[in-house]
Chain A
């Protein structure tokens, strides 16, 4: 990314050198009426007006004195940017027309290019005269902008510009489609992805609309439609770009920033009605300032990638200031979008790492669950008791084996799941108790209340609490140990309470909850994020464990 930014700044420096014009022109003069003599170079236009004035739907003439400073190295071309339809006279010779001047007028395009005959292309003074009509948009006073250059390069240069812009537009279109799909198909809805896709699409549209003028003839009557569309596209981009940064960088005062930005943009629109290019520049400036505010905040907060984004923003400002507007703003925007893309990859990496670690945790927990029944303490003690039962009372031994098989079956059944129905968990606990009754020769009583069969729970967490209860308890006076599982619902949480009613054993060390509790906590985190609470403590009647699961 750093290298790319250096590369871009290098390109900026290169492209900031402007080439020199090969001509000079004087302000155009206007005269309402129609006279073919007005095309002549010899006609004196000193009394003509400097403005078109109100020409209504009448014919009027425009004369412009130009001086060719150097030969154009090939055929001379003339580019005219103006409203209306007109016939073009160069040194008194008709060299072309734009639209149809005769009534009813056919509107010409705002930009037109004409070839000048070689015989009239000598260095020195020349006269351009336009026989024009502007029956539409009569009140719009738009001057005539003239450019003389090599005819071929006048035709070619928009093509070259467009080739780059279309390339960029294509890239943005692909990015927009890709990120839309990504958003639509990903389970966790990352709104930055959607915003990024929208920005890419807006940017694609902006590029296409901006340069559409080179390949579609837009009559001057519709000239402002395009400008208006460009204005609104810029408006939206100016809102979305800082929004994207503020989400990516966890900006604190989003509402404040965006109400300020929105009102600024609206004010710019209202105060500069009709000044399309200027409005767009102001929009971009507002966007830039708010983006910088967000990024500076991010730098203070030491957010990843914030320095690079700031560098990108500064470069884009340089691009806009040192290149001519149309090009500069696009290069500036491109740099910003690149920064966003870079941020996005950073984010993706974080998500990837989170995903990897969660997969790792899941498989570790799965392993831990499977290990429960094959760890030596459980397996070898069970087998020893089993041998004893088989030797002493084969019939009981068979019952024992069946209970054990039952526990293994359920374990096997649930070991792959992240959540299992509560009744399965209870079945597991009950088979475990019957196995333990054979081993410990103690009587265990299982009770439950308020259990909702439709509820799900991570596998073997009640089982783990039960194991702890068996391990750490001594029977009550009646020779039994009681286990009670109850379930309750509250407004914003549900709670499982597991009570062990027994005498707690004296311990050589304080009971802190080892691997078992770690397993339970990891399982709860896996399934409920941080929306759970796990408390396990001694009470006078024995031991109480509560698992509180909060709703979202």
Chain B
């Protein structure tokens, strides 16, 4: 795990670092602390990271202004902030968790435990996906998604209007952020359930999912049962 902490309060940054080290222990590759935004953004640009711990108000600058750009990255973002009233807003951008200050070790580890957890969240879920395209950021409403296809470390966002966008997060990472109305049907596919029409069986007991628009996507053998349950 490579972790970046952007926090302007020296004492709090050290606290975060200490707790992070104790949580990940030997799984930790690196922890870096940046005490202002510019420095943090430069770090992101130059280094690969897995988790960003971000304070929303840094030296009087509004962290929300850069939230769009960090959530478009491949890593998970955890907000650690005094502005608890901004939590819902932050979640809608697809942050992994919002840890309100003051926090203790338990609360922070809860946030870390979300990484890799498959339990879908019912509330505080993502509403938009920030996508970087030719250096520009733009937001895609997750209601506009037709399905998401994994492509290695990237994901392809197939939109209802036929367009295709690339997202820096992997399918696994996105799955942890997407709301309950999305279902992983295959190791390479996540769909919004509202677009599923019916399951079709191909020769050789291969299962496919027919979407309402007529497209057909494969269903993973191990996921067939869960999906069938949800469709009925």
Q: A384-B101, A507-B38, A508-B37 are in contact. Are A376 and B9 (CB under 8 A)?
A: no
Report Cα–Cα, A387/B9, bound state, in Å.
13
Task: Decide if B59 touches A439 in the complex (CB within 8 Å).
Answer: no
Report Cα–Cα, A466/B65, bound state, in Å.
25
Any A CB within 8 A of the CB of B103: yes
Contacts of B102 in A (CB 8 A): 380, 383-384, 386-387
Task: Decide if B103 touches A384 in the complex (CB within 8 Å).
Answer: yes
Report Cα–Cα, A514/B84, bound state, in Å.
22
Task: Decide if B38 touches A384 in the complex (CB within 8 Å).
Answer: no
Q: Of residues 84 to 136 in B, which have CB atoms within 8 Å of A's CB atoms?
A: 84-85, 100-104
* A507, closest chain B residue (CB): B61
* A379, closest chain B residue (CB): B82
Task: Decide if B57 touches A384 in the complex (CB within 8 Å).
Answer: no
Task: Decide if B82 touches A381 in the complex (CB within 8 Å).
Answer: yes
Any B CB within 8 A of the CB of A509: yes
Report Cα–Cα, A442/B61, bound state, in Å.
20
Report Cα–Cα, A114/B131, bound state, in Å.
112
Q: Of residues 497 to 511 in A, which have CB atoms within 8 Å of B's CB atoms?
A: 505-509, 511
Task: Decide if B101 touches A380 in the complex (CB within 8 Å).
Answer: yes
Name the residue in A380, A384, A509, A514 with the highest tally of chain B Cβ atoms < 10 Å from its Cβ.
A384
Task: Decide if A472 touches B84 in the complex (CB within 8 Å).
Answer: no
Task: Decide if A388 touches B82 in the complex (CB within 8 Å).
Answer: no
Contacts of B8 in A (CB 8 A): 440, 471
Q: Interface readout for A440-456 with B: 1 if CB under 8 Å, 0 if not?
A: 11100000000000000
Q: Interface readout for A242-255 with B: 1 if CB under 8 Å, 0 if not?
A: 00000000000000
Name the residue in B82, B83, B104 with the highest tally of chain A Cβ atoms < 10 Å from its Cβ.
B82
Any A CB within 8 A of the CB of B12: yes
Task: Decide if B9 touches A508 in the complex (CB within 8 Å).
Answer: no
* B37, closest chain A residue (CB): A508
Task: Decide if B65 touches A471 in the complex (CB within 8 Å).
Answer: no
Contacts of A376 in B (CB 8 A): 82-85
Q: Interface readout for B10-53 with A: 1 if CB under 8 Å, 0 if not?
A: 11101100000000000000000001111000000000000000
Any A CB within 8 A of the CB of B137: no
Any A CB within 8 A of the CB of B66: yes
Any A CB within 8 A of the CB of B60: yes
Report Cα–Cα, A461/B60, bound state, in Å.
17
Q: Interface readout for B49-89 with A: 1 if CB under 8 Å, 0 if not?
A: 00000000101110001100000000000000011110000
Task: Decide if B82 touches A377 in the complex (CB within 8 Å).
Answer: yes
Q: A380-B100, A383-B101, A387-B104 are in contact. Are A505 and B11 (CB under 8 A)?
A: no
Contacts of A474 in B (CB 8 A): 35-36
Report Cα–Cα, A439/B35, bound state, in Å.
13
Shortest beta-carbon distance, B178 to chain A, in Å?
29
Q: A380-B102, A506-B36, A506-B38 are in contact. Are A440 and B11 (CB under 8 A)?
A: yes
State which of A379, A388, A511 has its C-beta within 8 Å of the C-beta of B14.
Answer: A388
Contacts of B14 in A (CB 8 A): 388, 441
Task: Decide if B9 touches A471 in the complex (CB within 8 Å).
Answer: no
Q: A376-B82, A514-B60 are in contact. Are A384 and B10 (CB under 8 A)?
A: no
Report Cα–Cα, A442/B101, bound state, in Å.
21
* B57, closest chain A residue (CB): A377
Task: Decide if B84 touches A440 in the complex (CB within 8 Å).
Answer: no
Name the residue in A379, A474, A505, A514 with the highest tally of chain B Cβ atoms < 10 Å from its Cβ.
A505
Task: Decide if B59 touches A505 in the complex (CB within 8 Å).
Answer: yes
Task: Decide if B10 touches A442 in the complex (CB within 8 Å).
Answer: yes
Any B CB within 8 A of the CB of A385: yes
Report Cα–Cα, A198/B84, bound state, in Å.
64
Shortest beta-carbon distance, B33 to chain A, in Å?
11
Report Cα–Cα, A468/B103, bound state, in Å.
26
Contacts of B59 in A (CB 8 A): 471-472, 505, 507
Any B CB within 8 A of the CB of A235: no
Number of interface residues of B (CB under 8 A): 26
Any B CB within 8 A of the CB of A389: yes
Q: A377-B57, A441-B10, A506-B36 are in contact. Are A388 and B15 (CB under 8 A)?
A: yes
Contacts of A439 in B (CB 8 A): 9-12
Shortest beta-carbon distance, B4 to chain A, in Å?
17
* A380, closest chain B residue (CB): B82
Task: Decide if B61 touches A440 in the complex (CB within 8 Å).
Answer: no
Contacts of A385 in B (CB 8 A): 9, 11-12, 15
Contacts of B36 in A (CB 8 A): 474, 505-506
Shortest beta-carbon distance, A111 to chain B, in Å?
87
State which of B10, B38, B101 has its C-beta within 8 Å of the C-beta of A508.
Answer: B38
Report Cα–Cα, A531/B60, bound state, in Å.
30
Shortest beta-carbon distance, A519 to chain B, in Å?
14
* A440, closest chain B residue (CB): B10
Name the residue in B11, B12, B36 with the highest tally of chain A Cβ atoms < 10 Å from its Cβ.
B11
Shortest beta-carbon distance, B202 to chain A, in Å?
53
* B80, closest chain A residue (CB): A384
Q: Of residues 393 to 410 in A, which have CB atoms within 8 Å of B's CB atoms?
A: none
Q: Interface readout for A354-389 with B: 1 if CB under 8 Å, 0 if not?
A: 000000000000000000000011011101111111
Contacts of B60 in A (CB 8 A): 468, 471-472, 511, 514
Task: Decide if B57 touches A508 in the complex (CB within 8 Å).
Answer: no
Any B CB within 8 A of the CB of A543: no
Task: Decide if B104 touches A508 in the complex (CB within 8 Å).
Answer: no
Report Cα–Cα, A490/B36, bound state, in Å.
40
Report Cα–Cα, A438/B14, bound state, in Å.
12
Shortest beta-carbon distance, B198 to chain A, in Å?
50
Shortest beta-carbon distance, B9 to chain A, in Å?
5
Name the residue in B14, B15, B83 with the highest tally of chain A Cβ atoms < 10 Å from its Cβ.
B15
* A375, closest chain B residue (CB): B82
Shortest beta-carbon distance, B143 to chain A, in Å?
31
State which of B37, B38, B65, B101 has its C-beta within 8 Å of the C-beta of A381.
Answer: B101
Report Cα–Cα, A472/B100, bound state, in Å.
24
Report Cα–Cα, A404/B119, bound state, in Å.
42
Task: Decide if A384 touches B84 in the complex (CB within 8 Å).
Answer: no
Q: Of residues 458 to 506 in A, which have CB atoms within 8 Å of B's CB atoms?
A: 468, 471-472, 474, 505-506
Shortest beta-carbon distance, B16 to chain A, in Å?
10
Shortest beta-carbon distance, A379 to chain B, in Å?
7
Report Cα–Cα, A388/B102, bound state, in Å.
10
Contacts of A383 in B (CB 8 A): 101-102
Contacts of B35 in A (CB 8 A): 474
Report Cα–Cα, A35/B9, bound state, in Å.
121
Interface of A toward B, CB cutoff 8 Å: 376-377, 379-381, 383-389, 438-442, 468, 471-472, 474, 505-509, 511, 514
Interface of B toward A, CB cutoff 8 Å: 8-12, 14-15, 35-38, 57, 59-61, 65-66, 82-85, 100-104
Q: What are the 5 A-B residue pairs with the smallest beta carbon separation, nearest first?
A: A380-B82, A441-B10, A384-B102, A385-B11, A380-B101
For the complex with contacts A376-B82, A380-B84, A384-B82, 16 further pairs of A-B residues with Cβ separation under 8 Å are A380-B101, A380-B102, A381-B12, A381-B82, A383-B101, A383-B102, A384-B101, A385-B12, A388-B14, A439-B12, A440-B8, A440-B11, A505-B36, A505-B59, A507-B61, A508-B38
Could you pull out 12 A-B pairs where Cβ atoms are within 8 angstroms? Answer: A377-B57, A380-B101, A381-B82, A383-B102, A384-B12, A384-B102, A439-B10, A440-B10, A468-B60, A471-B8, A507-B61, A509-B61
